[in-house]
Amino acid sequence: MITNLRLARILVGGACLLTVGTACTSAVSGTPSAAPTTQNSTPTGSDVFAGLDACQLLDQLNAGQGFAPGENKSRRNQCTASKPGFATYGLALDSVQGLSEFDAANAGATSISVNGRDGMQADIPVGGCAVAVGVGVGVGEHARALVLVTMERASEDAHGCPNARAFAEKVEPLLPQAR
């Protein structure tokens, strides 16, 4: 039940995106593998994430780390996965809203670089004392991948920022190039 409440909070927090921004840095080791993409031309306004599934990406990147399989509780291309005693990670592939919308929704959003790609970061209240860290990675003028990390214990919230940045750095190579 507590896990379901935290999942609901992270989804509501992702939708609201009312925040105060912070800045942090972290390094990630390892070599992620790129998701298959096609090089054919697509019409303007089409889904830049066509063929990519947020739950599949989340499960691929969390494999072997003790996370439950990702769950999508909406019609959107978003997913959350929890690791008991640690955190809930969320991933949303949004082909409608880009970084400018993230910035407009988050007065304290901070511009960052995610493996050389434009990004933004913000703290996102998700109910009570819980805070998620959101990292948006630009995939086009009106498209972004959004990583949300909510630590299981409020006393661990300081770890949300480096965990969100590290996870965004793992997600970035799997995303299509900006159009």
- Identify the band that residue 34 occupies on the pLDDT scale cut at 50, 70 and 90: very low
- DSSP structure class, residue 67: P
Domains and CATH numbers, the chain: 2-24+49-174 (3.40.1000)
pLDDT tens column, 153-179: 888 888 999 999 999 999 999 999 876
pLDDT tens column, 103-148: 998 878 999 999 999 999 998 877 766 678 999 999 989 999 999 9
> What does pTM read for this prediction?
0.74
How many percent of the chain have pLDDT more than 70?
73
C-beta separation of 152 from 84 below 8 A: yes
Give yes or no for residue 5 having a pLDDT over 50. no
Complete edge-to-edge strand list for the sheet that includes strand 131-140: 78-83, 87-94, 143-151, 131-140, 117-125, 110-114
